[in-house]
Amino acid sequence: MQTDSSFTFVLFGGTGDLSMRKILPALYEAHRAGMLAASGKIVAVARHEEDRAGYLQWVNEHVKAHVAKSGIDENAWASFVDRIEYVKLDLGKAEDFVKLRDALQDQSATRVFYLATGPSLFVPICHALASVGLNENARIVLEKPLGYDLRSSNAINDAVGEIFAEEQIYRIDHYLGKEPVQNLLALRFGNALFEPLWRREWVESIQITIAEELGVEARGDFYDNTGALRDMVQNHLLQLLSIVAMEPPHSMDSDSVRDEKLRVLRALKPIDPRDISKVAVRGQYHAGVIRGTSVPAYATESGVKTDSATETFVALKVEIENWRWAGVPFFLRTGKRLADRVAEIVVNFRAVPHSALGASALRAGANRLVIRLQPNETIRLYCLAKKPGEGMNLSSVHLDLAFDQFFKEGQMEAYQRLLLDVINGRLALFVRRDEQEAAWKWVEPILNEWAASGKPKPYAAGTWGPAAASAMLAQHGTCWLEEEN
């Protein structure tokens, strides 16, 4: 996958954490792999460095450490750095955007504006770009969070939509660019084996987990005004759910895929505020131990209010009101300071209706498909087999879909794939406005109820969250998958 033509990639927030850890390393990997047009260039925009030399020094000091597990190719790095230009820009100065326009002299190049900034700057930047004509025939990438609730999200989308057409707007969710998520689409829609089983008659429940060992780190101010529901559920988890549950699209073009995801989001069963305590669990981590190291409580983290009611853990039971999934519970879970760092999708198939081989063949989850997104990216199919020896004793075994053994080329990181898609004008893996609105509409009753009542349930750091999250699944005769792989 190579960029089709010349491009200019303008990176707002060029000295920010996201640019340092993800965006610039991803562009370097694409460059090293020969996936960027030779004439393409990167223009970093920030207000901290005085000139290009100072910015390149920052890049060499801070970005190199986040590049490629395989190490740096010094020749490739040198030619990558040659692509980078720098514009010092103050958002409050209109003349600085004239300076930016003058720096983008190649009118034939595809222009991409990546806003790796806080959402409060999205609209001012868009207005400033339009004031100097830089919005025409350009693409703009918006990072999450896009708003605080449905109203603020709509306000941002309305304002940006006055300047950029919907087909110019790329709302990024990096989980959609992960290799196992792409393989989930291939698994479902490229094989006759799984699709007939992908429905209520054969699936007992589905779990989607994104768990982190880290706390809020240096983002206490941001996180205390956001929480896990806004930070993770409204975007990442509901996007993964829509990929898992969507109907087969007639093609993989951008609108076909996103139309099917939207149908899932609109089919989510609305949650009655009176039932929220039954289907939604929120928690907040207290002091605990992770991998032998003591870690502090959330309320004592820097930037966090000592009486904070912000949730650092969410578990939800979700239902989809359509023909394929009626009656199948989807359990979503995310949290900070949990027992392990893992992101995975677990499809639990129904047990056999009758077993002549003993009770083990009837237990929940005996047959399951586990799509692991991190830390290691794998897909495993679990089933039962006879143990060697006397008697018919069954044990769980698994089949690994070992992509690294079949495909010798390295896996592409999520940001690398998505950035190439932006440059090449491919929208399928980006969130459309109506998808985002449907997600906000669904989570808003939970947000409102939690804002008006009580505090999160406590859980010790280094555990899997409040006991109520496990109790919610126990009511359905199942449990969270918490095994080491």
Is residue 284 a contact partner of residue 335, using CB atoms and an 8 Å limit? no
User: How far is 298 from 304, CA to CA, in rounded Å?
Assistant: 7
95 and 28 in a single domain? The answer is yes
Is residue 442 a contact partner of residue 436, using CB atoms and an 8 Å limit? no
Q: What is the torsion angle, in degrees rounded to the nearest 10, for the CA atoms of residue 272, residue 276, residue 277 and residue 278?
A: 70
112 and 187 in a single domain? The answer is no
Determine the structural domain holding residue 273 and report its residue range: 176-474
Residue 291 belongs to some domain of the structure: yes
Give pLDDT, residue 364: 66
Residue 221 belongs to some domain of the structure: yes
Count: domains in the chain: 2
Query: Final residue of a domain: which of 143, 162, 197?
Result: 143
Task: Residue 48: give its domain's CATH number.
Answer: 3.40.50.720
Give pLDDT, residue 408: 67
Is residue 428 a contact partner of residue 254, using CB atoms and an 8 Å limit? yes
| Catalytically active residues, by annotation | 236
100 and 231 in a single domain? The answer is no
419 and 279 in a single domain? The answer is yes
Give pLDDT, residue 2: 54
60 and 206 in a single domain? The answer is no
240 and 384 in a single domain? The answer is yes
Task: Residue 311: give its domain's CATH number.
Answer: 3.30.360.10
Residue 163 belongs to some domain of the structure: no
Going 222 to 223 to 227 to 231, the CA torsion angle's sign is: positive
Residue 162 belongs to some domain of the structure: no
Using DSSP's 3-state secondary structure scheme, residue 372 falls into strand
139 and 181 in a single domain? The answer is no
User: How far is 416 from 84, CA to CA, in rounded Å?
Assistant: 17
221 and 88 in a single domain? The answer is no
Size of the chain, expressed as the number of residues it contains: 485
Is residue 212 a contact partner of residue 147, using CB atoms and an 8 Å limit? no
305 and 384 in a single domain? The answer is yes
Task: Please give the single-letter amino acid code of residue 5.
Answer: S
Is residue 282 a contact partner of residue 313, using CB atoms and an 8 Å limit? yes
Residue 160 belongs to some domain of the structure: no
133 and 221 in a single domain? The answer is no
Residue 465 belongs to some domain of the structure: yes
Phi/psi at 67 (5° precision): -95, 140
Which uninterrupted H or E stretch holds 210? strand 203-211
Give pLDDT, residue 3: 54
Residue 262 belongs to some domain of the structure: yes
63 and 210 in a single domain? The answer is no
Give pLDDT, residue 161: 97
CA proximity to 87, closest of 113, 65, 109, 122: 113
Give pLDDT, residue 485: 47
Residue 1 belongs to some domain of the structure: no
Using DSSP's 3-state secondary structure scheme, residue 85 falls into strand
Give pLDDT, residue 443: 96
Q: If the chain, 485 residues long, is cut into consecutive pieces of 10 residues, what is the mean pLDDT of each piece?
A: 76 93 95 92 89 93 82 91 94 86 84 92 94 94 89 96 97 91 87 90 96 91 93 95 95 92 97 92 97 95 94 98 97 97 94 75 78 85 85 82 71 91 94 96 95 92 97 93 65
Task: Please give the single-letter amino acid code of residue 231.
Answer: D
189 and 57 in a single domain? The answer is no
